[in-house]
Amino acid sequence: MMTDRNYSAKPRNGLKVIATEPFQRGYSEFRTGIPLNYDAYLNARDQTRYERGRLFAQVDTVGKKKLRVSMEAVRRFNEASVRKEIV
């Protein structure tokens, strides 16, 4: 049985993902209480990164308003991805 997929199955590089502006914006907006902006970005890749940043902000154990891009942040992001808290 073949199933259709509407997502990329290739592995993500955590550092490349969290270093993007859309991811950083989503993380920061969630942490400061700004509601989700469904039209934040016009292209699907940036919108996905924005939403992924908001998801990570919900499960990240560090209580900062702004995410510092570091190998520790990448480790936390990768662990959350493995636990399927971020898709």
Q: Rounded to whole angstroms, how far apart are CA atoms 38 and 49? A: 12
What tens digit of pLDDT does each residue of 49-65 get? 999 999 999 888 776 77
Does the residue 5 lie in any domain? Answer: no
User: Can you tell me the mean pLDDT for 31-50?
Assistant: 92
How many Cβ atoms are within 10 Å of 51's Cβ, its own excluded? 21
Q: Rounded to whole angstroms, how far apart are CA atoms 48 and 41? A: 9
Expressed as residue numbers, the domain containing 73 is 21-82
Does the residue 39 lie in any domain? Answer: yes
What tens digit of pLDDT does each residue of 67-79 get? 888 888 888 888 8
14 vs 53: which has the higher pLDDT: 53
Does the residue 87 lie in any domain? Answer: no
65 vs 41: which has the higher pLDDT: 41
Does the residue 69 lie in any domain? Answer: yes
Does the residue 65 lie in any domain? Answer: yes
**How many structural domains does the chain have?**
1
